Structure 1
């Protein structure tokens, strides 16, 4: 198993994400064994040269690296440690990679259980959705030992553009949860923006076009995520003038949006929270616009 390129890979779960990820592993030197509860999901892989396993235990006995993409924590626990699960036949040195987004505590608990059998479990959730899986452009966030990460980095590179070693087991999931926190808060903010635009008589489908266009240019929220910590910045720090400028622009626009919302009778709780916390979150402190708004609120 010193040559990651020669690992025999097993893949469990050939759904919307698992199937395109597994497809990009076809043709690797070590070969591919697949398993899914639906025969119609397995058939195209067999036709393309993969081997079909009849159950989890059979797959584990034949493979060096096993990728798991199932629905939730309960299914992951069952596949890994349930009756007839992977641990029933996996050989010492085997790596089990869980791509499902699960609790970080599930990952660490299962990793400890696997370690007793000499098996490495790594949590390796992905970001980029089915299009990223099909195109091989996913981001994979891996919680693993250095040794286990060295084994999975090359195979993961077949379906991912970025493979990040986030830290020890559990870290991949924690990174994914932070990433998805931003994702779904931004969705909530988008619904708030739509309510404001609709109340103002704006065609929100046209607003959506503008958002998608400009986010593709500016990078969206990721454009400010360059620092290696979240401490407050000193005035001499090179980031201070940059983020102060971002804060001032943001506070101005948020204040104007809140004023429009007040006139239209539209509540904007996320915008209110953003105005109060933007500068502090950027590490440059609250700006004059937010301070003035806070004074008016308490007047």
Structure 2
């Protein structure tokens, strides 16, 4: 989708200053709407913002811990936006985000030019683009800024936030986001933050499905799957899990003389051997392992080096020299 950033963000000649300003230079208040399991711990860290915090939730009692610590509360998003120059939104879905931003009592009813709306909810990227255009007609900037790290990351202030918007608006948000996010990332134009979050969560939930498949195999083999879970958590904390192989800036095939070709050919060999052994065990135990079958077929192609000997053999094709060597076992 090709968009004009100025059309989306409302920027242009003579545009109002963006966001709440610097924490060192008399900043304006920030706002937070949606004080649930994720929103509340994020908002709590914003109590330290020197310009002040305004909060809003459909449950009035959810605002009480914040007002007790000096925040102000608004009955509607419009009341929050009357003073806040950056308003974060953490609600359930696209419909609620639309209502909070552009509903009868929404942010756009009172927000002044240069205000930034940061949507932390996971919504459709097309919804983000559409709402950013609507905000732009009011001189208001919208960024889609979904987060990753769950409630534990929110409690610790260690979330990642993936921001879609112009560089100027991203930089205006960073001092505020830094209070609760350990890893802010400028993903690209409006909509890019959401697209990055969806790709990240694709990995997340496919991995969960793979964990269930591995557990079925382990259970059929007479193993304690709770102990298997302990092993997985322990070793993933050391190796980095799936993220450890996300090192390149492209998914294109790798040339044989490229440094990464040797690295991923080696990992492919290890993976194909172990996958084939797991699939063989599954056959003996009559446990269906569809994700394991797909992984054996696609591992090498996903790495950009193509299938190795074991995958080719499993597919009924001639093998190559991509197997592992005798000393590979100690490399894991």
Partner of 2:59: 38
- Is residue 112 of structure 1 aligned with residue 133 of structure 2? yes
- Is residue 152 of structure 1 aligned with residue 170 of structure 2? no
**Number of residue pairs matched?**
296
Residue 170 of structure 1: how far off its partner (Å): 0.3
RMSD: 1.0
Partner of 1:262: 283
Residue 135 of structure 1: how far off its partner (Å): 0.7
Tell me if structure 2 keeps the 8 A contact 1:56–1:79: yes
- Is residue 222 of structure 1 aligned with residue 233 of structure 2? no
Please give the residue correspondences for 1:192-211 in structure 2 after superposition, counting only pairs within 5 Å: 192-211=213-232
- Partner of residue 283 from structure 1, selected from 279, 282, 304: 304
Please give the residue correspondences for 1:116-135 in structure 2 after superposition, counting only pairs within 5 Å: 116-135=137-156
Partner of 2:68: 47
Q: Which has the higher helix share?
A: 1
- Is residue 68 of structure 1 aligned with residue 89 of structure 2? yes
- Partner of residue 163 from structure 1, selected from 184, 206, 225: 184
Partner of 2:293: 272
Residue 150 of structure 1: how far off its partner (Å): 1.3
Normalising by structure 2, report the TM-score.
0.88
Tell me if structure 2 keeps the 8 A contact 1:14–1:41: yes
Normalising by structure 1, report the TM-score.
0.97
- Partner of residue 241 from structure 1, selected from 262, 268, 271: 262
Tell me if structure 2 keeps the 8 A contact 1:4–1:152: no
Tell me if structure 1 keeps the 8 A contact 2:32–2:55: yes
CA offset digits 1:247-288 (Å, max 9, x no partner): 000000000000000011011000000000000000011000
Q: Give ranges in structure 2 of 5+ residues lacking alignment.
A: 1-16, 318-332
